Every structure is written in C-alpha cells, then in structure tokens.
Amino acid sequence: MDFGGDISILEPSVAFQIMSFSLLTGEIKFVTHDNVASFYFRKGELIYATMDTRKKKLGKFLIEKGWLTEEQLGKVLHDYVSKEGRGRIGNALIERGYLDYNSLAEAIQEQMKEVVYEVLAWRKGQFIFFHDVLPQDEDILLEVKLDHLILEGLRRLDEAKGPQ
C-alpha cells in the first residue's frame, strides 16, 4: 500500500481528482463492509473500473439494451458452465455472432461508468492506493474524461436527493 484513508474524510470524488491531478499510475481500491471497487489510472487517466458486487451483470445489461435476448444469453452461459468457466462471456457472445466487438466494448465501458457513479455515493469505508498496479488482461478500457464522469455522478446524486 502506498497511501490510503477514510472515505468519510476524503470522499471518492476528491480521491479521484488527486489521482488525476497528480498524474498517478496505479490502482485505487475502495472498500466498504459489503463491497470492493477498484479503479485503475495511467498517468492520471482513469482506464478501468470494476466492482465485486455489480448490480447488473454484462448479460443482463445487454438484454436491457436490446442487444441480446434471454435465449442467446442462456446458450452462451450453458456453454460457459460446461467449459468450467474458462474464457470470457463477451468473447463467446462474439464467437456465436450475437454481438460485435464494438457493442461489447460500449457495454463494458458503460458498466465501468456505472461503477464510478455508484462509488461516488459511498460515504463510509476505506481507500487504498497501490502505485504502478494496472489491470491484467483487459483490452477494453475507458475512453472518457474523469471530470465528465465525476460531474455526471454528482448530478445523479443531486437528482436522487430530490428538491431541497
């Protein structure tokens, strides 16, 4: 661990901005009593985000977008289980012709954005930064400015609060 702190003192939005302004490369991990989210930065740019307990799995997300049917997902999951979980579901969707690479990339990027938005609401827990740790074997990375994500996340939080 290179540095860390308490989310109730240094909110995630501020921690993200420190990563960005300092041009840091590495992983910042936010830990609560029931969840863990990891964010990877390269020279201050957010490139990847993941959460242990995602609200929506990739398949459900694709179905909601109308890019995949329940039947198609069922076939791919059946194959995935029969191969003992080897490989990636996204690759299987492409191999079967259910999805193209660009649609998969867009869906995964949208999921990563949702991880950012959710963590911006966290007010209890800890964060830990690990210098020079980058995601392994990930070829789909975020391509959006961090300040845009923070602003959108904070806007969503304000809307969720309703009129004051």
pLDDT at 137 (0 to 100): 83
At 57, is the pLDDT very low, low, confident or very high (cuts 50, 70, 90)?
confident
Question: DSSP secondary structure string, 83-104?
Answer: TTT-S-HHHHHHHTTSS-HHHH
Task: Tell me which residue of 60, 10, 3 sits closest to 27, measured CA to CA.
Answer: 3
Euclidean distance between CA atoms 8 and 31, whole angstroms: 12
pTM (2 decimals)?
0.86
Is a pLDDT exceeding 90 seen at residue 82? no
pLDDT at 1 (0 to 100): 64
Query: From its phi and psi, is residue 132 left (phi > 0), alpha (psi between -120 and 50) or beta?
Result: left
* Residue 100, strand partner residues: none
Euclidean distance between CA atoms 48 and 134, whole angstroms: 9
- Domain boundaries defined on the chain: 3-53+116-161, 58-105
Is a pLDDT exceeding 60 seen at residue 149? yes
3-state secondary structure of 4: strand
pLDDT digits (tens, 9 = 90+) for 1-51: 688 999 999 999 999 999 999 999 999 999 999 999 999 999 999 999 999
Are 97 and 130 spatial neighbours (Cβ–Cβ below 8 Å)? no
Is a pLDDT exceeding 60 seen at residue 85? no
